[in-house]
Amino acid sequence: MAYIKFCVVAVETNLKDQSVYVTFNKEVDSDSLNYDNIILAVNGSTTAPLASYSIILGDDLKTLKLQFIDAPIVNRPYILVLQDKISDLEGKHLDKSLFRNVSFKSNVTSDIVLNNPSNFEIISEQSFSWQEVGDNLVNSYRLQISSDTGFFNIEVNNVIKDKTVVTLGVPLKPGQYYYRVRAEQDNDYGVWSETRTFLVQESGEYEEDSVNEGTTAVTEDEVAVEDLVGDIRNDIIVVEEKPVSGVTPDSFTFLFSEDINPSDIKISVIRSDF
């Protein structure tokens, strides 16, 4: 009997499931499935950032599911690499490594431009607004607000129809948050807007047109400083050099309004493409 070589017979994407499906012609050895042998990255980038996904082998042992942890970017190519170290149950490896461009096609092509709050704004009224731009507007959106930049701890995840201004029914607790918006229609969705951050303070601590004596309102070019216990201090960091045209500089220069002890603070510079 002639030996049937171990190979991939199909690669498909499913936007609803937010997954890439890979079908093999023979049962796969699950021990050969790992993040060294299976690579999924955003294509068309000089750095090719890796996607965040889980590796799930189906009950038939022939169907591999790569489940995105966060929603995949629609209408943008990914590169899928299956290394030849993946093997079947007989210990036979793939004949050669597979390199395949995959994408998640969506009929929603409009973009979202955030209006308010502005970046690093201290807000009292928890109102959010944006604008949908493009040729085919869907007038339906998803607003997400999280307490972290990765949107793992989501506080608000609302679908909003036929309006681009919304005020939260249940106010957020004091703290720092991040928000983003995308257009959605049925099971299709567009790309996320930029991510902005804003600060919610205790009621009465801040008014839009006035600031407590000795402090300065945080603007888009300034960064609020947290001490090691998480409290917002009154120091203001002015960013003298910041990303231009999406390019992150090799270093940042920070200027404080007063002398500080470096051991008292922590500074995080986070780049996000979402």
Query: What residue segments make up the domains of the chain, in order of their start?
Result: 8-102, 111-200, 222-264
Give the C-alpha separation, 9 to 25, whole Å. Answer: 6
Lowest mean pLDDT segment, chosen from 6-20, 33-47, 205-219: 205-219
- Please give the pLDDT value at position 265: 65
Q: Is the pLDDT of residue 19 over 50?
A: yes
CATH numeric code, 8-102: 2.60.40.1220
pLDDT of residue 257: 59
| 222 vs 76, more confident | 76
CB-based contact 117:129 (threshold 8 Å): no
Give the model confidence (pLDDT) of 79-93 as tens digits.
999 999 999 999 999
pLDDT of residue 197: 95
> Do residues 165 and 125 touch, judged by C-beta distance below 8 A?
no
Average pLDDT over residues 205-213: 40
Q: Model confidence at 204, in pLDDT bands (50, 70, 90)?
A: low
Do the domains 111-200 and 8-102 match in fold?
Answer: yes
Q: Flag whether pLDDT at 216 surpasses 80.
A: no
Q: Is the peptide bond before 117 cis (omega within 30 degrees of 0)?
A: yes
* The pLDDT value given to residue 40: 92
pLDDT at 232 over 60: no
Please state the pTM of the whole predicted model.
Answer: 0.61
> Hey, what CATH class is 111-200 in?
mainly beta
Q: Where would I find the beta strands (DSSP E) of 69-220?
A: 78-82, 98-102, 111-116, 121-123, 127-133, 140-146, 154-161, 165-167, 175-185, 188-189, 196-200
